[in-house]
A and B are shown apart, each in its own frame.
Chain A
Amino acid sequence: MKQVYSVPKSLQPRSTHYCPGCTHGIAHKLVAEAIDDLGVRDRAIGVAPVGCAVFAYDYFDCDFQQAAHGRAPAVATGIKRSVPDSVVFAYQGDGDLASIGAAEIVHAAMRGERITVIFVNNAIYGMTGGQMAPTTLVGQKATTAPFGRQKEHCGSPLRVSEMLATIPGAAYVARVALSSPGNVAKAKTAIRKGFETQLAGGGFSLVECLSTCPTNWGMGPYEAMRWLEENMIPYYPLGEFRTPEGGQNDA
C-alpha cells in the first residue's frame, strides 16, 4: 500500500501537553517537516522559549537549548555564531517575542542573524493563564484586561512582521495563519522558505503564525479558528513582508 502520510522524522513520536485545539502542534509539525524536507536534522539546533512551547524540546528530535524569557534570539545568536554550519531556529510566542524579548528580536534582525524564528502569535499569554499580550486585539478580553484591551490605556497591538520588515537585515518575513487546510499549506511553504533563507546565508528570517488559544480565549477549537480568521487576520494581514528577492521597504 502506498504511504501518503507519516509523522515527520524530526518530531518524536509522542503526544504533546498542548490544549485541545491549540495550533502549536500544527506549527511543530510544519517546522519538523521543513527540517526533514531540507535534510538538516543533524545540523538543527532549536531554541525553546518561555511560554507554552517551553517544552518544545520534548517533541523535536534534534538538539535544543531552552532560553530565558524573550532571550531566544540572543541564545540563537550565540549558537549560530559559534557553530556557523548549524541550522538554528528559535520558537517563540507573542509574550516572549513581542513583549519581554522585543529588543532581542529587533537586534537579531538588525544583525541579519542567519537564524529562523517561528513566531506563534495567539494574541494572549497562554502558559500564565490568559493575560494581555502586546498582540492582544483592541477590545479583546484578557485576565489583565477584564474589560477588553483599551487603546487609550495601553495602545494598539504591535504588528511585529511589519515592524521587522523595515529592518535591512531581515531577509524573509512572512505572516501566515494556522486556521484552515489552505492556510496551513501556505504556512508550510513560508516556514520552509524561512529555513531556505538561512541555508542560503541570506540573513534573518521570521515566520509569524497566527494561532489559536481556545483555552484562554474561552472558546471551542472550531470557534477559535473562526475567531482568528474573522478578528486577527483583518488586523494582522497575511503575506510576505520581505523576501530575499526584495520585498517591501528594501534598504
Chain B
Amino acid sequence: MAERKLFKGNEAVAEAAVRAGCRYFFGYPITPQNEIPEYMARRLPEVGGLFLQAESEVAAINMVYGAAGTGARVMTSSSSPGISLKQEGISYIAGAELPCLIVNMVRGGPGLGGIQPAQSDYFQAVKGGGHGDYYTIVYAPASIQEMVDLTMQAFDVAETYRMPVMILGDGVLGQMMEPVEFREPAPREVPPKDWATTGAKDGRAPRLINSIYLQPEALFKHNLKIAERFEQAKKNEVMCEKTKTDDADIVLVAYGTTARVCRSVMDRARAAGLKVGIIRPITVSPFPYNEIAEVARTARAFLTVEMSLGQMVEDVKVAVSGAAPVHFYGTTGGVIPTAADILERVEEIARAEVQK
C-alpha cells in the first residue's frame, strides 16, 4: 500500500498532476489557490518540467493552448475571477480540440466577491463557460483523496476526449489538509497525438491547431464532432455516489464540500427516524441525470444543497423531471451551510411531503 501523507488540498492537486505526467504549468496568482503555482514552481523543475508565471490569467490560458497544441501535458489553476478571464482561452482550447487540466478553487462572487469557499461558478463550469457550443468534463471532488484520484486520471480523460478537464474545487478543498495516498489510476488506452504541432519533421504534412471555420457547414460539422466526443464521455465517464438512497424518502443532492456537510445531516436525520439519503455528483459535467432519475422513481422529495443561490438545482429538476418535488437550500458569498440549518429544512420537507 502506498504511503499516506498529510497534504493541503492545493498542494495535493499539484502533486497529483505531476504524478499524472503534467510537465507544464502556466498560472497567475489569486487567492485561495496560490499554493498550486507555488508548489509547481518548486516541483516541476525536479521532474524536468517547467513552471511559468504569466502576466495575466488570459496569457496563462493561452500559454496552455500553445503547449497543449504541441501535445504536452499542461495545466493551469485559478479561482473564480481568474477563471472568468480564462474563459476566452478555454473556448479556444475546446474549439481546437486540445486536452488540458484547469483547476478552479471557487470563491464567492460576483465581481471580486470574496475569498471564502463557494459553489457559485457551477453554471460557468458545467454549461461550457466561454462562448460557443461546447462542454468540458468537470470533476467535483469532496475530499483531498478524491481530488488526487480524479487529478491522476484527468489527463488521460482529457486526451481521450480531446477536451479540457476541470477540477471544480472550492476554498475549503484547496486550503484544508487531509491524509492522502497517490494511487495509480486504472490504465486507459489514450489515442496517439497525431495532431500535435512539434515541427513538420521527416516529411510529414504540416499540422494545424485551429478553431476558425468560416463556412457555416464546416463549423456545424466541427461542432458535431466535438459534441460526439462529449456524448461518448456521457456514456463512459459519469461518476456519482449514492448513499442510503434505496429506502430514502428524502434525497439530498450535493457536491463537493457541501456534500460533506450533508453527510452529517443524513446521519442526524436517520437518528431522528427520517429516511434520508444522498446523491453526490462527482462529475458535474457530464451530469448524472440518469442516476438521479432512477432514485426519483422511489424518493418522495429531493433537497438540493449548494453554496450558491441555486444553480445545480436546475439540473436536478431536469433529472427528476417532475417525478418528485425538488427543493433547494443554499448559502452564498462564502458562507458554508450548517448541518443544523439543512436539517431544519429536511424536517420541514418531511412534515410537508412525507408525513402528510
In the bound assembly, the distance between CA atoms of A194 and B206 in angstroms comes to: 23
Q: Decide yes or no: A75 and B62 within 8 Å by CB, A64-B206, A83-B70 being known contacts.
A: yes
Q: How far is the CB of B162 from chain A (nearest CB, A)?
A: 15
Other-chain contact of A78, B56, B64, B201, B212 (Cβ < 8 Å)? B64
Closest A residue to B68 by CB, please name it. A78
Q: How far is the CB of A162 from chain B (nearest CB, A)?
A: 21
Q: Decide yes or no: A67 and B206 within 8 Å by CB, A62-B200, A78-B24, A78-B26 being known contacts.
A: no
Q: Decide yes or no: A43 and B199 within 8 Å by CB, A63-B206, A77-B52, A103-B55 being known contacts.
A: yes
Question: Does B65 belong to the interface (CB within 8 Å)?
Answer: yes
Q: Which residues of B in the span 181-211 have a Cβ within 8 Å of any Cβ on A? A: 197-202, 206-211
Instruction: Judge whether A86 and B199 touch: CB under 8 Å.
Output: yes
Q: Decide yes or no: A65 and B65 within 8 Å by CB, A77-B52, A81-B52, A82-B50 being known contacts.
A: yes
Question: Does B138 belong to the interface (CB within 8 Å)?
Answer: no
Instruction: Judge whether B208 and A64 touch: CB under 8 Å.
Output: yes
Question: Does A44 belong to the interface (CB within 8 Å)?
Answer: yes
Instruction: Judge whether A83 and B198 touch: CB under 8 Å.
Output: yes
Instruction: Judge whether A66 and B208 touch: CB under 8 Å.
Output: yes
Q: Which residues of A in the span 47-61 have a Cβ within 8 Å of any Cβ on B? A: 47, 54-55, 57, 60-61
Question: Does A76 belong to the interface (CB within 8 Å)?
Answer: yes
What 1/0 flags go to B49-61 for Cβ under 8 Å of A?
0101011101110
Closest A residue to B92 by CB, please name it. A68
Q: Which residues of A in the span 63-96 have a Cβ within 8 Å of any Cβ on B? A: 63-68, 71, 74-83, 85-87
Closest A residue to B203 by CB, please name it. A42
What 1/0 flags go to B36-80 for Cβ under 8 Å of A?
000000000000001010111011101111111110101000000
Question: Does B88 belong to the interface (CB within 8 Å)?
Answer: yes
Task: Provide the residues of chain B in CB contact with A47, threshold 8 Å.
Answer: 66
Q: Which of A82, A83, A85, A103 has the most CB of B within 10 A?
A: A82
Closest B residue to A72 by CB, please name it. B62
Task: Provide the residues of chain B in CB contact with A229, threshold 8 Å.
Answer: none
Question: Does B89 belong to the interface (CB within 8 Å)?
Answer: yes
Closest A residue to B88 by CB, please name it. A68
The interface size of chain A toward B, counting residues with CB under 8 Å, comes to: 37
What 1/0 flags go to B157-183 for Cβ under 8 Å of A?
000000000000000000000000000
Other-chain contact of A75, B56, B66, B198, B207 (Cβ < 8 Å)? B66
Q: How far is the CB of A16 from chain B (nearest CB, A)?
A: 15
In the bound assembly, the distance between CA atoms of A104 and B24 in angstroms comes to: 19
Q: Decide yes or no: A65 and B208 within 8 Å by CB, A71-B89, A79-B197, A81-B52 being known contacts.
A: yes
Task: Provide the residues of chain A in CB contact with B209, threshold 8 Å.
Answer: 64-66
Question: Does A28 belong to the interface (CB within 8 Å)?
Answer: no
Q: How far is the CB of A146 from chain B (nearest CB, A)?
A: 29
Instruction: Judge whether B212 and A45 touch: CB under 8 Å.
Output: no
Interface size class of B (residues with CB under 8 A): 35 or more
Q: How far is the CB of B326 from chain A (nearest CB, A)?
A: 39
Instruction: Judge whether A65 and B52 touch: CB under 8 Å.
Output: no
Instruction: Judge whether A63 and B198 touch: CB under 8 Å.
Output: yes
In the bound assembly, the distance between CA atoms of A66 and B92 in angstroms comes to: 9
Question: Does A41 belong to the interface (CB within 8 Å)?
Answer: yes
Closest A residue to B52 by CB, please name it. A81
Q: Which residues of A in the span 93-111 have a Cβ within 8 Å of any Cβ on B? A: 103-104, 106-107, 111
Instruction: Judge whether B66 and A63 touch: CB under 8 Å.
Output: no
Instruction: Judge whether A107 and B55 touch: CB under 8 Å.
Output: yes
Instruction: Judge whether A83 and B199 touch: CB under 8 Å.
Output: yes
In the bound assembly, the distance between CA atoms of A219 and B52 in angstroms comes to: 45
What 1/0 flags go to B210-226 for Cβ under 8 Å of A?
11100000000000000
Q: How far is the CB of A48 from chain B (nearest CB, A)?
A: 8
Task: Provide the residues of chain A in CB contact with B206, threshold 8 Å.
Answer: 57, 60-64
Instruction: Judge whether B198 and A74 touch: CB under 8 Å.
Output: no
Instruction: Judge whether A78 and B69 touch: CB under 8 Å.
Output: yes
In the bound assembly, the distance between CA atoms of A74 and B211 in angstroms comes to: 17
Task: Provide the residues of chain A in CB contact with B56, threshold 8 Å.
Answer: 103
Instruction: Judge whether B197 and A63 touch: CB under 8 Å.
Output: yes
Instruction: Judge whether A103 and B59 touch: CB under 8 Å.
Output: yes
Other-chain contact of A74, B54, B96, B207 (Cβ < 8 Å)? B54
In the bound assembly, the distance between CA atoms of A71 and B61 in angstroms comes to: 10
Instruction: Judge whether A82 and B72 touch: CB under 8 Å.
Output: yes
Closest A residue to B65 by CB, please name it. A75
What 1/0 flags go to A26-48 for Cβ under 8 Å of B?
00000000000000011111010
Closest B residue to A83 by CB, please name it. B70
Instruction: Judge whether B212 and A81 touch: CB under 8 Å.
Output: no
In the bound assembly, the distance between CA atoms of A45 and B103 in angstroms comes to: 28
Instruction: Judge whether A79 and B70 touch: CB under 8 Å.
Output: yes
Q: How far is the CB of B72 from chain A (nearest CB, A)?
A: 4
Q: Decide yes or no: A81 and B24 within 8 Å by CB, A63-B206, A74-B54, A74-B66 being known contacts.
A: yes
Known: A44-B199, A82-B67. 8 other contacts (CB 8 A): A42-B200, A57-B206, A65-B210, A68-B65, A71-B59, A78-B68, A82-B66, A82-B70
11 contacts between A and B (CB under 8 A): A61-B206, A65-B66, A66-B209, A67-B65, A77-B63, A78-B67, A78-B68, A80-B66, A83-B198, A104-B59, A111-B52
Q: Which 7 A-B pairs have the closest CB atoms?
A: A78-B66, A74-B62, A78-B63, A78-B67, A107-B55, A75-B66, A63-B197
Interface residues of A (CB under 8 A from B): 41-45, 47, 54-55, 57, 60-68, 71, 74-83, 85-87, 103-104, 106-107, 111
